[in-house]
């Protein structure tokens, strides 16, 4: 049996979903207040002065702290059903179906949030490793539960979930530097849908 590891944002989808979900699920008042606050951070990110992990941590803290986890779960299910189908790459679904037809174990390994990825993965019969939000007494704390699932955390969690050495061939698909560590553990690596040497 082979193992196929797929990043989600920009690999399975043709655009990033984290920001889209933040806009979809954050209460309107917070969105309005937060827009001018986060413009400098977004500019810093585009200039390479601030990491994606730092922006995600700040946005989650501002947008979700104090919200009911059940409410966000319902928003995630709606986002998975109503928004994700329009932005999934046909080539990604074809490749996922090909791996499944070969009997491969297929994992989505993403820095995006399980609150909307889990319903999508369940619909497609896929396993998921992703970033998760911390909940206390039914409310979101505004923090991630553990580390964000990016960079070396991706391959660490894959190794924790399944023993990679037991698979004949490992395939990995990614599109940013946050995926490079996961790609490095694969026999066959695809970066932006081009196979790497």
State pTM to two decimals: 0.94
Q: How confident is the model at residue 20 (pLDDT cuts 50, 70, 90)?
A: very high
Mean per-residue pLDDT of the chain: 95
Mean pLDDT across 165-186: 97
Q: Give the pLDDT band (50/70/90) at residue 10.
A: very high
* Chain segment 56-77, per-residue pLDDT in tens: 999 999 999 999 999 999 999 9
Q: What is the pLDDT of residue 37?
A: 80
Q: Which residues are within 8 A (CB) of 123 and not within 5 positions of it... i.e. 6 or more apart?
A: 80
Among 99, 97, 127, smallest CA distance to 114 is for: 127
Please return the burial class of 180, using the count of CB atoms within 10 Å of its CB with bins 0-12, 13-18 and 19+.
Answer: middle
How far is residue 66 from each of residues 47, 69, 128, 139, measured CA to CA in Å?
Answer: 31, 9, 26, 5
Query: Residue 155 — pLDDT band, cuts 50, 70, 90?
Result: very high
Tokens describing residue 92: 């990604």
Arch. (CATH architecture) of 3-195? 3-Layer(aba) Sandwich (3.40)
* DSSP of 69-80: HHHHHHHHHHHH
Give percent of the chain above pLDDT 90: 86
For the chain, domain boundaries:
3-195
């Amino acid at each position: 049996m082979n193992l196929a590891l797929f990043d989600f944002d920009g690999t399975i989808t043709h655009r990033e979903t984290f920001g889209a979900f933040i806009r979809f699920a954050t209460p309107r008042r917070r969105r309005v207040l937060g827009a001018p606050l986060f413009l400098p951070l977004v500019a810093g990110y585009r200039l390479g002065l601030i990491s994606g992990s730092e922006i995600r941590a700040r946005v989650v803290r501002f947008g979700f702290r104090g919200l009911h986890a059940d409410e966000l779960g319902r928003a995630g299910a709606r986002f998975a059903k109503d928004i994700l189908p329009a932005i999934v790459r046909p080539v990604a679904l074809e490749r996922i179906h090909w791996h499944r037809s070969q009997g491969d174990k297929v994992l989505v390994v993403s820095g995006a949030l399980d609150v909307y990825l889990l319903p999508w993965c369940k619909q497609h019969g896929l396993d998921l490793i992703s970033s998760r939000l911390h909940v206390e007494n039914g409310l979101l704390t505004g923090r991630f539960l553990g580390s964000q699932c990016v960079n070396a955390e991706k391959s660490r969690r894959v190794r924790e979930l399944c023993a990679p050495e037991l698979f004949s061939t490992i395939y990995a698909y990614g599109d940013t530097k946050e995926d490079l560590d996961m790609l490095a553990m694969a026999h066959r690596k695809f970066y932006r849908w081009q196979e790497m040497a």
